Chain A
Amino acid sequence: MGSSLRSFIKDVRGAKTLADERATITKQSAKIRTKLRDDHLPHDKRRLNIQKLLYLYILGEKTHFGQVESINLIASDDFVDKRLGYLAATLLLDGSEDLLTLLTNMLNNDLHHPNKYAVSLALTSLGFLSSPELARDLYPDVENIIKNSKDPFLLKKALQCAAKLIFKDTSLLEIFNIEDITEILCNHSICTHGVLLGVTKILQSILAIGLNREKNDDEGDIDYKNDILSPLSLLLRDFLTRLENLNSKNIEPGYDVQGICDPFLQCEMLYTLKLYFQVGELMDSNSVLDYKDNFCDLLTRIATNTDCTKNSGQAILYETVKTIFSLNLNQPLRVLGVNILAKFLAGKDNNTKYVSLNTLLKVVPQEPTAVQRHRKFISHCLQDSDISIRMRALELSFAILDDSNLVEIINELMKFLAEQDEESKDSVVYTIDHLIDTFDTYVVKDENWKLDVFLNVLKLVGPFINYEKINDILIIINNTAQLSDKSDFLQKLLTISLDGKSAEISDDNIGWQLVLIWCIGEYGGLISSGNTKSNTEVVNESSITDYLLNLQECYTTTNHKIINYILTTSLKLSVKFHDPKNIEKLRQLILHYADSTDLLLQMKSNQYEIFFNQPISTRKIILETMPKFEKITEKQNNVKNISKNLISSGPADLLSDLLNDDSKTDIKPPKSGNVKPLDLLEEIFGEKKNTNDPPKSKENEGSVNLPLPVSADSDVILPPDVPKIHDSTSLNVYASLLSADSGSAHIELFFQAKSPVFDLQIFCAVPRAQKLTMGQLYPSSTIKANQICKQSLKISGSGKMKLRIKLDFHLSGSSSAINEQFDHKFEKTL
C-alpha cells in the first residue's frame, strides 16, 4: 500500500465512527419532531424546524408529523409565519379530512384579512387543497372577492380558485353568477392578462361540467343549456375579439415570448373556445353555434399569421390544430391543420416533430389524403436519430399506408430496418408485425416483390422475429400463387446461404434458417429437378443435403426448434430428391436423433424412420406440397381468441402441425417404442386426413375450409351474446365489454348496417373522470348491408362507465349526412 494512503488512514483513525446518511436523517427528523412538540419554542426556531422539515420533504422523507404545526403557523399574526405555514400546509397536507377541517377556519379568516397578501396566500392554498367540503364552505368567501375586489392580483387568484371549487362541487354552479365575469371583462382597468387567465379557467371549468353532463340527466335543478350555456355564450363575441387582438399584436413587453404575445393566454383562450363549441354541439345550442363561422375564420387567421419558426408560435399553432381536429371543423381548415403539422415535420426541432407525428397519427382517419401528401417528411423522420421520433414515424407510415403507396412505403421501411440495431428491437418487432398484417390486408399483385420483401426482412432482422411471426411469414410464402415465385424465393435464400459468402447471415438468425429449412422441404424438389434457372454449381441436391447436415451439427445442442424443422424437411426431401446417396444421408440424419435425450426429437426420429421405410407412393401422398391456408388470425386479438375457441381442435392444430409448431406437439405424451406404426402415422401426420379429405378441400381448390362462425363475406364477426345498445332504421349497435378492472376498460362496439352505410364516423364521450382512447374503425367506414364493422374503445379512469355515442354517416343515394346519438350505461364501475 502506498505510503500516502497509510498516512491518510492514520490521520482519520481518531475520527468518530461514521453513521450513515440515513441514520443522520432519521436522527434529524426525530429532533425536529421533538422540537416542534415544545410549546415554548420561539417562533424563529419553529420556522427553522419547519424549513428543515420541508427540506426533508423534498428528499422524500416522512413529514406527516409537521402537518398540525404548519397549520398552527398559519394562525400566527406574523406574515413570515403565515407565509411559511401556508407553504408547508400545501406541501405536507395529504387531504386528510380532519386537518382540512382544522384549516377551514384559518382560510375563512384570511380570505377576509385586511392584508391582501394574506388573502392571496389563502386563495393559493385553497386552490391546492380544496375538497368538496372546503369548496362548499368557502365558495361564498371566494365569490365575495370576485364580486367586490378591484385588485387584479386578488381577482386572478380568486377566479382560479373558484374554477377549482366549482369543479370540486358542481352544485356551486347554481350560485355562480355569470354577470360577475361579464363585469370583470367590461372593466378595462382590472382586466390584466392574469385576470383573463383566471376567466378562461373558470369558463373551462363550467364548460367541462357541461361536457360531462348527460343531456337528459337532471343533475340538480339546473337546466344547463338555458341557464348556464346561453348566458355564457354572450361572452363569445368578446372572447373572439380579444383572442384576435392578442394574436395580431406585435409586441407587448412583459408578455412577449420570442415575438409572440402571451402564448399562454392565447392557448388558454383557444382551449376555452374549443370547449364552448364542444358543449354547444353536444347540446345543440344555437346561441353558441351561431359563432362557429366566426371561430373558423379566426382559426384560419391564426393558422396563417402566427410565426411558425419559434417554439412559442408553434405552441399556438399546435393548439389551433388540436382545436380544428377535435371539433372536426370544415375540410379546408383540416387540410390547413395537416399542412401546419407537415411544416413542423420539415423543421429541425425534435419537439415539434414529436407533437406533429403524434397529432398526424390521430388525424389520419379524418383527413387521410392530406396526411399522405406529406409522406416524404414522414419517411424522413424514419431516419431521425431520436428513437421516439422514429417510432412515431413508423406508426404513422403504417397508418397512411394503402394500395396507392404500399410499395413506396414498404421500400422506405426496408431502408429503415436496415439501419436498426439491437437497441431498437421494439420498433423492429413492431414493423414486422405490421408488415405481416399489411400483406394479409392488401392484395399485392407482384408476389415476387412481396417475397423479396420478406427475404430482406429475414436477412436484416431475422434474429428479432419470434416464432409466431415466422409461422405467419411461412403462411404468406405458402399462399403465394405462383409456384415459380416460391422456388425463385428458395433459390435466392439458398444462393445467399450456400454461396460461401453467407457472412450476411449470422448464426443467431434463427428466423432465416427456419424459413430456409421449411422452404427446402416444400420446394426443394423444384430446384433439384432443374425446373428453375438455378445455378446448379452452387445449388444442387448434394449441396442442399450437406447444408442441412451442417446446420444440424451447428444447432444440435443449441436449438431444437431448428433440428425439428430439419427432421421434417429431411423426410419431405426423401420423396423429392433423386440421388439415393443424398437420401441415405438424410435418413442417417433422422436416425441420428433416435436416442436423443430430447424426447420430442427422439419420438420424431423414431416415427420418421418408420415412415421413411414406407413405399414411396404412400409417402408422396402424405408429403404433398402444402395447400393454401386461410389465416384465422385477425388484427384484433379478441376476435382471434374467440375464433380459436370456436375451432379449438382440428384446423388450428393442423396449421401448427404443418408449420412445425412444437408448442402444440409438446402437449402430446411422448410415446415409447412399441407403438403400432399405423397409429403413429395418423398421429404425426394428422394432416394427412385433412389435406386428403377430398370432398371439401377439392371443392375449394385445395384450400382448407375453416369453420368461420359467420358468413365468410364479413371480415368482422359479431361474437355471441353481445347486447344490443342501439337500434335505428339504419344501424344496430352492439357493445361488448371485454374487460373492466383497476381503472381501465376495453370495449368493442359493433355496428351492423341494415342497409349500406357510408362514411360512418363515430364520436364517443366518457365522463370527465375518465379518458377515452379510440382505435380505428375496422375494417372500414363503409358497411354493406348486414355486414359489421368494429370500433374498439379503451377507457381509463374511475367512476361509472357511461358512453355517449354520436354517429355521422350517409346512406346510399343520399348526400345529406345522418346523425344519430345515444347513450349507454354499463353496469360495471371502474
Chain B
Amino acid sequence: MYMCTFYDILSLLIRIAILKAKKNAGTIEKRKVKDTKVDSIIRNTQPVMEEHHYPQNKILVLSHHSHDSFKTQLLKDLFHCNTTSASIVKDQTWGNKYYRTCVDLYIDFFKDLPEWIEEFIMPECEPLRNVVAGIIIILDNRLIKPQELLNLFKGAVHENTFIVLVNVNEEVPQDEIDELNEIWSNVFTNIVEFINWTRSKPTINHNEYGEKLGLYRIQEIIDTHGWLNCELQPITTTKEETPRDMPLEQIITNLQSARSKYKSMKDNSEADAFASEVADELSKYL
C-alpha cells in the first residue's frame, strides 16, 4: 500500500515534469506556500513581541469640522473605514505585504487646534499619549500656522509616536510643505511630517526624488512605523514566486536516489513520511 502511494506520487511527478519540459514554460500549479509560519517568523526582524499584547496601537485622526469630508475620505482611503460619526473604531486591520497589525482609530475634531493640543498634553492625558502610535491632523495651512503648534507637542508625546500634519488647502504649494519639513525634521526625534493632500490631483503620487506624496506617504509612514503587535504575513518575496530552476535530469536523478532510499527504509510510516516530503520538495521545482 505504501509502495503504491509512493509510485503514484512519483508517476504524477514525472508526468508533470515531462509536461513541463514539453511546454518549456510556465507553472502547472501554483505552489502553495507551505510552512509559512517559519518563513514569516524569519522575516520578523523587528524587535517584536510575539506573545504579549502591546497596546500602543491607537491612531488619532482629527480635523476641524469644516474638513469633515476630508477626514471621512482619508479614513476610507487609508483604513477602509466607512465611519462618519463614531469616535472610536476598534480593531481595524492595517496590512501590507509584510505584516498585518491591528489598530484602533480614535477620531476627533477640534474647534481650535491649540486648545485641543493643550488639553492633549495635560497630565490627565498621559495614559492616552502613551498608547498613541500616531496622530494625523487634517488642517488648512493657510488658517493655522502648524509650526507654532509643534512646540506644544514637544516632549509630551511618546518618542516613537508619529505626527502627520495633512494640509488640504490646494493653494499651498509643495515647496512650502518641503520647506516646513526641512525646518522641522531635525527638531524632533519623533517623526513629524507635513504632507500636502490635494484631492484634485490624486494621480501624482511621487515627487522628483521618487518620494511618495499625499496619502501614499501617510501610508508609508504607517507601514514603516515600528508596530510592536504585528503579525507577519505569509509572504514570499517577488523572487520566490518565480519558478525555481532545476534541470529535468536533476529532478529525475533526485527521484531515483529518493526511490532507492525509500526502498531501503524499514519503518513503513517513516518511509511514507519521507515519500511525501520528497514529493513536497520536488514539486517546488516544477
Contacts and interface: CB of A to CB of B under 8 A. Distances in A.
A5 interface: yes
Contact of A1 (B41, B122, B130): B122
Nearest to B127: A12
B47 A47 contact: no
A8 B128 contact: yes
Contacts of B49: 24, 28
A721 interface: no
A47 B107 CA distance: 41
Interface in B23-77: 38, 41-42, 44-49, 53-56, 58, 60
B148 to A, nearest CB: 20
B47 A5 contact: no
A387 to B, nearest CB: 14
Contact of A48 (B41, B87, B88, B158): B41
B124 interface: yes
A21 interface: yes
A291 interface: no
B247 to A, nearest CB: 17
B106 interface: yes
B47 A8 contact: no
Contacts of A8: 58, 60, 87-88, 106, 108, 128
A48 B44 contact: yes
B45 A12 contact: no
A5 B128 contact: yes
A501 interface: no
A4 B47 contact: no
A221 interface: no
Interface in A42-64: 44, 47-48, 51-52, 54-56, 59
Given A12-B58, A28-B47, A56-B47, A4 B87 contact: yes
Contact of A51 (B45, B58, B109, B124): B45
Interface residues of B, number: 38
Contacts of A18: 55-56, 130-131, 158
Contacts of B106: 4, 8, 11
Contacts of A25: 47
Nearest to A51: B45
Contacts of A16: 53, 55
Chain B residues touching A, majority SS: mixed
- Residue from B48, B49, B122, B127 having most chain A Cβ neighbours under 10 A: B127
A21 to B, nearest CB: 6
Contact of B120 (A5, A12, A52): A5
A24 B104 CA distance: 21
Contact of A55 (B47, B54, B88): B47
A96 interface: no
Chain A residues touching B, majority SS: helix
Given A4-B108, A12-B58, A47 B42 contact: yes
A2 B108 contact: yes
A668 interface: no
Nearest to A25: B47
A9 interface: yes
B46 A11 contact: no
Contacts of A2: 108, 110, 116, 119
Contact of A5 (B108, B158, B228): B108
Contacts of B42: 44, 47-48, 51
A2 B122 CA distance: 12
A759 to B, nearest CB: 50
A7 B104 CA distance: 13
A18 B158 CA distance: 10
Contacts of A12: 55, 58, 127-128, 130-131
A501 B128 CA distance: 59
A52 B108 contact: no
A56 B46 CA distance: 8
Interface string A25-38: 10011000000000
A13 interface: yes
Nearest to B119: A1
B159 interface: yes
A13 B45 contact: no
A66 B160 CA distance: 27
B187 interface: no
B125 interface: yes
A24 B116 contact: no
A12 B228 CA distance: 17
B127 A13 contact: yes
Nearest to B111: A2
B119 A21 contact: no
Contact of A24 (B53, B130, B228): B228
Contacts of B108: 2, 4-5, 8
Nearest to B159: A21
Interface string A590-616: 000000000000000000000000000
B66 to A, nearest CB: 17
Interface of A: 1-2, 4-5, 7-9, 11-13, 15-16, 18, 20-21, 24-25, 28-29, 44, 47-48, 51-52, 54-56, 59
| Chain A to chain B: the 8 pairs with minimum beta-carbon distance, closest first | A15-B55, A4-B108, A28-B47, A55-B45, A18-B130, A4-B87, A12-B131, A1-B119
18 contacts: A1-B124, A2-B110, A4-B107, A5-B125, A5-B128, A8-B87, A9-B128, A11-B106, A12-B58, A13-B127, A15-B55, A16-B55, A18-B130, A18-B131, A24-B47, A24-B49, A28-B48, A48-B41
Given A5-B119, A52-B47, 20 more contacts: A1-B119, A1-B124, A1-B125, A2-B108, A4-B107, A5-B108, A5-B120, A5-B125, A7-B87, A8-B58, A8-B60, A8-B106, A11-B88, A12-B130, A24-B49, A47-B42, A51-B42, A52-B44, A54-B45, A59-B47
Interface of B: 38, 41-42, 44-49, 53-56, 58, 60, 87-88, 104, 106-110, 116, 119-120, 122, 124-125, 127-128, 130-131, 158-160, 226, 228
